Amino acid sequence: MKIPVLTYEPMRIDGNGYGENDLVALASDLRQVTDAGFAIRPLREVVDLWLDGRAADLSPRTVAIACDHGADFDYVDLPHPRWGVQRSVFNILRDFAAQRPGAQPGLNVTCFAVAGPQARAALDGTCMLGKGWWRDDWWPAAVGSGLIHIANQSWDHNHETLPPGLATGARPGTFRTIDNERLAEHEIGQAAAYLQAKAPNPGTGLFAYPYGDTNEFLLRDYLPRRSRPLGIRAAFTTRAGFLETGCGRWDAPRFMFRRDWSSPEELAAILRAAADPEGDWVPAARREWNAATAPQRPETPDAFRKFLVSRVDPIPGWLHMEAALLTEHLARAQRSLGISGPTLEIGVFKGKYLAVLYALSENDERVIGVDLFVGSEDTAKDVRTVHDNVARACGDSRRLEVVVADSLALDARTLERHTGGRARFISIDGGHTREIVFKDLESATPLLARGGIMALDDVYNFTTPGVAEGVANFFLSRKPALAPFAACYNKLFVTHPDFHGRYLAEAVRFAEESTWLATHEPTMARRRENLSGGFTPTLFGHEVLPFL
């Protein structure tokens, strides 16, 4: 037995292409797994056969399919404000069954749902668009169709954006802190009872850890002890791997769409390894980047990585790959929140980070770079160089304006004349003295759009101590409505306080999912140490994720 559990997050919609829309990928993958000769079986059935020692009854080519969170995208077609009407998981299954009658007699998706109604109502506003798209009135009909099972993904996800009234006292943003009986009953026991009452179905016997996290208490004590009364047979992490003999029933692995595959070719690699008892699966993100195939405008995370290597790396300047990748991840998060607007960078040099920011801006968004080109004898030539570099990397530089100016002589009003409005993203990377950093922050802060993000360069660089001094002076004396949330190598990312929780969660998610980056292990290990020791890295009163 070597079974991939293919998992999607239907609420994650960043476009209508395969790599940016979990629903579009699901529809395509159903056809692909079928054409590859795999049988789709309900996850609960697979787990039962596995645990009852009857795995041999399963075809050697079997997959199970799951979705996370249980939002309404699982059942009803919904009009996404940016990307149009989205076919639901349920309707995708029905479409498939109609197009390929009898091709998959066990066709089924297990939807792991956040069970608590109040938590879903709150998260609908903080994680989605606040349109009331996280209900449970469809559960009985979905279960009744036989195409969907509703499974347990905790009571409230222990989510970091839950309002104080729903707090349990456990540190949010991870499931590792659900480490005693009271918390486990709140998160798992209560959810199991609710699901069994609201939508009794085989899926209630399956649990998926929010954030994919578990801990010794849940693994070795709570789940083994409480599984029978709660009716839970297995629990799933987000560790990549096949369900196979020898893997733990309380920390079973799953393949996560986008992290483990983001194209039909990458799914084919998983299926090939599944069909071959000796076959190894190599994580998609470790594949060699192929500069020759890099597109002009990177539309998916994978294309963006190629873009960085082939197009941005050759531009002289200062940029860590990790900071650029996090910038891309955050820009996607902004898009899914509907935040748009121009981009501003103070201090562009040859346009290295500016090329990244240009690539991440939309076709109708202006990009403004400000630089004095200190020491230059021909600033017109410098401006041409920046345009050339951005155009070479991104295909054009039509929306770019490079302003030659001393930022000490600018203020928010003059900058806004160039940007034409509040900026979605601002990078402060000009003069590295205390005075200039202070002034640049003072000019740029009022220009930040609601939910905008600012990247402050070299705040922790001991060779440029004036930056730390200027930033500290600004935050302590002006007390701006800005909240730092991630310190990723050369850049400190800040936003407005009411967006802090979302972007911190996105930064954590990026760190967790980037298993192929050298920063992944040390960053996550330090976070675990901090969580277990009760230490929170905090800057100007806000939690920050430090990347190591």
Ligand X SMILES: C[S@@+](CC[C@H](N)C(=O)[O-])C[C@H]1O[C@@H](n2cnc3c(N)ncnc32)[C@H](O)[C@@H]1O
Binding stretches for ligand X (CB under 6 A): 317-319, 347-349, 352-353, 370-374, 406-408, 429-431, 436
- Closest distance to ligand X from the beta carbon of 344 (Å): 12
- Closest distance to ligand X from the beta carbon of 313 (Å): 12
Taking a C-beta distance cutoff of 8 angstroms, is the pair 358, 400 a contact? yes
- Closest distance to ligand X from the beta carbon of 349 (Å): 4
| Structural element, H or E, at residue 40 | strand 39-40
- In whole angstroms, give the CA distance from residue 448 to residue 430: 17
- Closest distance to ligand X from the beta carbon of 319 (Å): 5
Cβ proximity to ligand X: between 65 and 372 the closer is 372
Q: Please give the residue whose beta carbon sits closest to ligand X in the complex.
A: 317
Cβ proximity to ligand X: between 291 and 374 the closer is 374
Q: Which residues pair with 80 in a beta bridge?
A: 84
Tokens standing for residue 202: 């085989």
Give the single-character DSSP code of 445: G
Cβ proximity to ligand X: between 268 and 405 the closer is 405
Taking Cα atoms as reference points, which of 424, 483, 538, 509 lies closest to residue 160?
Answer: 509
Cβ proximity to ligand X: between 273 and 404 the closer is 404
- 184 backbone dihedrals φ, ψ, rounded to 5°: -65, -40
- Closest distance to ligand X from the beta carbon of 141 (Å): 53
- Closest distance to ligand X from the beta carbon of 467 (Å): 10
Cβ proximity to ligand X: between 13 and 370 the closer is 370
- Closest distance to ligand X from the beta carbon of 443 (Å): 11
Cβ proximity to ligand X: between 365 and 429 the closer is 429
- Closest distance to ligand X from the beta carbon of 415 (Å): 12
Query: Any residues with CB less than 8 A from the CB of 3 and at least 6 apart, and which?
Result: 46, 58, 62, 63, 64, 242, 243, 244, 274
- In whole angstroms, give the CA distance from residue 176 to residue 172: 9
Residue type, 257: F
Taking a C-beta distance cutoff of 8 angstroms, is the pair 137, 176 a contact? no
User: What is the arrangement of strands in the sheet containing 367-371, beginning at the earlier edge strand?
Assistant: 400-404, 367-371, 343-346, 423-428, 448-457, 491-495, 483-488, 545-546
Cβ proximity to ligand X: between 43 and 426 the closer is 426
Taking a C-beta distance cutoff of 8 angstroms, is the pair 123, 72 a contact? no
Cβ proximity to ligand X: between 58 and 348 the closer is 348
Exposed e or buried b for every residue in 256-292, given b needs 16+ CB within 10 A? bbbbbbbeeebbebbbebbeeeeeebeebbeeebeee
- Closest distance to ligand X from the beta carbon of 395 (Å): 19
- In whole angstroms, give the CA distance from residue 499 to residue 485: 10
Q: Which residues pair with 484 in a beta bridge?
A: 494
- Closest distance to ligand X from the beta carbon of 491 (Å): 10
Cβ proximity to ligand X: between 22 and 371 the closer is 371
Taking a C-beta distance cutoff of 8 angstroms, is the pair 7, 67 a contact? yes
Q: Which residues pair with 109 in a beta bridge?
A: 148
Query: Where do the H-state alpha helices sit in 127-180?
Result: 139-144
Cβ proximity to ligand X: between 223 and 348 the closer is 348
- Closest distance to ligand X from the beta carbon of 430 (Å): 4
Cβ proximity to ligand X: between 439 and 542 the closer is 439
Exposed e or buried b for every residue in 471-503, given b needs 16+ CB within 10 A? bbebbeeeebebbbbbbbbbbbbbbbeebbbbb
